[in-house]
Structures are given as structure tokens and as C-alpha cells.
Chains A and B, each alone.
Chain A
Amino acid sequence: QMLGNILLSAAFRTQDRSIELSDLPDEILLKICAYTPFPDRLSLEEVNYRFNTLTLSVWRKKKIITVPDDLGSLRRGAFIPTWSSCLEKFDKSMQILVNHCPLVQALHFASHRHLQVFIQSALFPQIQQLNLQLKEVVISHLYCIDQHAVTALAEACPLLQTLVIEEPYPLLYRIRPDSMQVCQQRISNLEPGLGQLQEENSR
């Protein structure tokens, strides 16, 4: 009963009054930011200082950049029709993404329904320029890759540990000789079925 009285005495501290979203705690606004698609998060950044800080904190948690999806989503509803048109703007838009996402460790080249993605060596110097601390590159669809391309990729990303090919044959390449443990851990995180470990980095 005493406990009830204590709780009741606290109950009247806050009487009914109108509440605006600006009165709500940061954790609620953060959740709203996190549910907001990327282009609209940019609008939120413009709302005021508080939203700017909160939206930036959401971006800061991002660890994977997916190309072209993340780039496309920044174009406020526009759809990137081809891989080349994405590459054309790659460095400029990627730079902004990277500025927003300092923790990014992985780059995922995703294929669209009508888009067969082949990684292009011309892209590697651009990746290098971005100074990303990439530990992993994932290519969703790739029929073949040669030693030269893997070496170029490893040079462009000095911290790169693994290269993952998702389709048509799931493969995981170990880029650094000392990254076996990373590979094993990565395999256990992958979907069942993607379990082959390619010991050497050429095929």
C-alpha cells in the first residue's frame, strides 16, 4: 500500500498537456530517423540541429554500402537504369555516402533484376580514392574473376580481407594470408548453402 502511495504521489507530477514531437525524447526521434528511407533522412538533416545530429548518428551506424541501391536511394526516387550510369556518378555520390558513414567496412555490389554486374577494374582506383577502410567486398553476381582483378582490388583496399561472390556459384575468397579466421567467421554468418571456401585467390 505504501508503495502504491509513493507511486501515486509521483503520478501527478505530469498533468495532461499537449505534446509535440519536439517534446519527445531522442530515442523516439532516432527510431523515426532509422525508419526513414535515405533520401528523406537528408530532408530530416535540414529540419534543425537536433534532427541533424540524430540523423547523422543513424548514418554513422551503417557498416555496409550497397551499390547501386544506396546511391540510387539518394536520388530521391529516381531509379538508376544501368550499371554504367551508376559508375558515371560513383565517386561523387560515394564520397557523400562515405562522409556520412565513417564505419563502413563492406561494399556490396548488388545486381538488379535486369542488371548483370561485372566488377570493372576502372572502378578500383575510385574506391582507393575514397579511402574506405574496407574489410570486405561482396559481388552479388559474377561469372568469372581473374588473378589480376583480385590483385587490383587488394591493392585498392589495403585492409581487404575477403571477397564474396554470391551468385551463380557462392564463393568466398581469402585476400590476406592471415585472414582465415575472418573467413571462417564470415562463412558462419552467411546463408546456408554459401559455404565454399576458396583457399587460393585465383580461379
Chain B
Amino acid sequence: MIQLCSNDDPPVSFTVPRKAVELSKTIKTMLEDLEGFDMEQTPIPLPNVDAPTLELIVKWVEQHQDDPPPVEKPRVEDDDSDDSDADDDQEPEVVIPEWDKKFLPTDDEQKNQLFKLLNAANYLEIKPLLDIGCKYVADKISGQTVEWVRDYLNMENDYTPEEEAKLKEEIAWAEGL
């Protein structure tokens, strides 16, 4: 068993089976690098993860610890020499499993928690969790107005009125076809 500590003061600690915690590439690499240390006695602090987020992470890795490992696509070093028929503009299709749909903090008041979870999944390199979280946000954005998206993402419109008008003009073709 491995102990993970949140960044709270005082830190909150969670004890997680090693197999589950190794779903995080970051922690797996750390454990491999520290082979020989008694890691069961050394709590691993996670500076970017608070207790509620860590609790979610632990729940997710415990649920998915027996999943088959994801198949990783070989990386193409030189884009120009890639003559395969694969299109690289879009991520591979991701289907959010039923359990994960219920697991993700999807209520509007939990939006902040969802973003923290994405941040933690990214920091801990838990790719499948990051994928389903990003897919959820992408689905949420789909079909919404620009104003709605700005509000949901809490992003300021930093275009000048002239720039905004020019941009609207450039993509107006998509509306008018």
C-alpha cells in the first residue's frame, strides 16, 4: 500500500493499493526511481492536489485498477514523413463509461471541482481520466453560443471590437452556407 498526501494544511493522507496508484504515470515513475526505499512508510506529497480532489482520484484509480492498459499509438517523430492514412486533427474516439459518468463532478456548482480533477489528472499523468474529463467538457461546450462558452470557462473576451468583428466576418461563411 502507498500513502498519498494532499496539499492541505494539515495534509490529508490516503492509503491506496500500489497497483491502483500506478495508474498515475507520475507516481509510477517516482516509485520505480525510488526502488529500494521503503515507500510504504514514506507518504508521497502531492503539491497540486487538495483533499477533495485527491479523494476523487483515489476513488477513480481504485475503480479502474484492473482495467486493461490502454494501447498507446506509436509516436511519429517527423510529421512530414508520415504517409499513413491516419488523420491527426482529432483525438481518438472516447466513450465515457457509465460508472465514470456518475463519478465525474458534473453539476454546475461542482464545475470548479471538475477543473481541479482535470488539473490533478494532468499533473499525475492519468491519461484515461484526463481524456474522459476533457471529453465531458468538450461535449458540454458543443452547440453552445460563444457567450455561454466564455461564461462556462470563465474566460474574458480579450478581442478589441474591431478584431471581434473581423473574426466574425471570417467565419460567417460557416453560418451562411
Contact = CB atoms under 8 A, between A and B. Distances in A.
Interface of A: 1, 3-4, 7-8, 10-16, 18-25, 27-28, 31-37, 39-40, 42-52, 58-59, 61-64, 66, 74-78, 89, 92-93, 96, 101, 103, 106, 135-136, 138, 182, 185-186, 189-190
Contact of A47 (B8, B51, B87, B157): B157
A28 B146 contact: no
Interface of B: 5, 7-9, 11, 34, 37, 42-48, 50-51, 79, 82-91, 94, 112, 115-116, 118-119, 122, 130-131, 134-135, 137-139, 141-146, 149-150, 152-159, 164, 167-168, 171, 173-175, 177
Given A27-B122, A43-B144, A47-B153, A74 B45 contact: no
A77 B157 CA distance: 25
B177 to A, nearest CB: 5
B46 A28 contact: no
B85 A76 contact: no
B171 A61 contact: no
B168 A46 contact: yes
A186 B7 CA distance: 51
7 contacts: A11-B45, A22-B153, A25-B122, A40-B138, A43-B144, A74-B177, A93-B177
Contacts of B45: 4, 7-8, 10-11
B155 A189 contact: no
Nearest to A164: B85
Find the residue from A16, A39, A77, A189 having the highest chain B CB count within 10 A.
A16
Nearest to A34: B91
Given A61-B89, A75-B177, A101-B89, A3 B94 contact: no
A22 B89 contact: no
B167 A45 contact: yes
Given A11-B5, A24-B118, A182 B83 contact: yes
B50 A39 contact: no
A21 B115 contact: yes
Given A27-B122, A48-B157, A63-B89, 8 more contacts: A10-B45, A34-B91, A35-B137, A36-B141, A44-B141, A63-B88, A138-B85, A186-B85
Contacts of B139: 35
Give me the 9 closest cross-chain CB pairs, A-B, nearest first: A62-B89, A11-B45, A35-B138, A20-B154, A16-B50, A31-B134, A34-B91, A4-B42, A36-B138
Given A18-B112, A22-B155, A40-B143, A11 B91 contact: no
B75 to A, nearest CB: 13
B149 A31 contact: no
B145 A34 contact: no
A61 B79 CA distance: 9
A21 B154 contact: yes
Nearest to B145: A43
Contacts of B37: 3
Contacts of B89: 34, 58-59, 61-63, 101
B99 to A, nearest CB: 20
A64 B141 contact: no
B98 to A, nearest CB: 19
A32 B138 contact: yes
